[in-house]
Chains A and B, each alone.
Chain A
Amino acid sequence: MSKVHISTTVNGEAVEFLADTRDSLLDSLRDSLGLTGTKEGCGTGDCGACSVVVDGTLVCSCLMLGVEAQGKQIETIEGMANGDALHPLQRKFIEHAALQCGFCTPGILVASKALLEKNPDPSEEEVRYWLAGNLCRCTGYDKIIRAVMDAAEEMRGAA
Chain B
Amino acid sequence: MVTVNLWSGLRRFTDGELAIQVEAQTIGDMLEALVGKYPGLGPIFDDGISVAIDGDVMPADMSKSISSENEIFLLQQMKGG
Do A's and B's CB atoms come within 8 Å in the complex? Answer: no
